[in-house]
Amino acid sequence: MKLAMIACFASLGIALLALPEQAPADDAAKRAEQYQVAAGKTYNMHANDHARILGKYARATGKPVPQDVVREHTKAIRSNVAQAAQAYKKLAAAAGDSPKVAAQLAEIEKRLAQVSKKVDELETDKDAEAKVIEDATSDISADLKATHDASKVIDAALTAQLQSQDQSDEFSDRQSSDYYFTGEGHFID
């Protein structure tokens, strides 16, 4: 019985040693911002996929695209653009730190509004010729690509901010080659 308890405590102690250290609150906030950028880029890519597939359908048939097919893809584009816009709006606090991020967020907002306008036009044109749909989906894809590129700039800026943060806790880097050899990891009497 005592041996089992000792083994249990030993395994618990080893498990606790293996746990990663908690990141500071600022670090967690920056990582949350990076998540929002990734979510925005993902929704953006999904919207682009639907625009591309609708354009390919129009190009392949060369005839007016049935309204139910147009509606299916414009609904998906609209939904993904709305989700992307929500993700980017959550980054407004990050924009206060960096004019570069603020400029890119403004560009993204403008481009997503243009996409929404083009989707509205596609939905209202009941007998859109294949060429009209091809041109519209090409414009939508161009705006979504510009949005994706702006997202990359934001992601790079946030990553740079995260990497440049000063490590204030001298005991946090146990992987450092100096940790055990300079006394950083030990109390010195």
Q: For the chain, 189 residues long, give each residue's pLDDT as a single digit of tens.
A: 566 556 545 554 454 444 445 445 566 777 788 888 889 999 999 999 999 999 999 999 999 899 999 999 999 999 999 999 999 998 887 777 688 889 999 999 999 999 999 999 998 887 778 899 999 999 999 999 999 999 999 988 888 877 766 444 444 454 554 444 444 444 443
The predicted structure's pLDDT at residue 120: 94
| Both tokens assigned to 189 | 């009497």
- Nearest-angstrom CA–CA distance, 120 and 122: 5
- Nearest-angstrom CA–CA distance, 66 and 45: 24
Please enumerate in sequence order all residues whose Cβ is within 8 A of that of 47, keeping only pairs 6 or more positions apart, or say none.
76, 77, 80, 81, 84, 115, 140, 144
| Both tokens assigned to 109 | 């907002």
Amino acid, single-letter form, for residue 27: D
Q: Among 124, 145, 171, which residue's Cα sits nearest to residue 22?
A: 171
The predicted structure's pLDDT at residue 56: 95
Are 10 and 120 in contact by the 8 Å Cβ rule? The answer is no
R_g of the chain, CA atoms, integer Å: 25
Size of the chain in residues = 189
Complete domains list, the chain, with CATH: 25-163 (1.20.120)
Q: Is 44 exposed, middle or buried (0-12, 13-18, 19+ CB in 10 A)?
A: buried
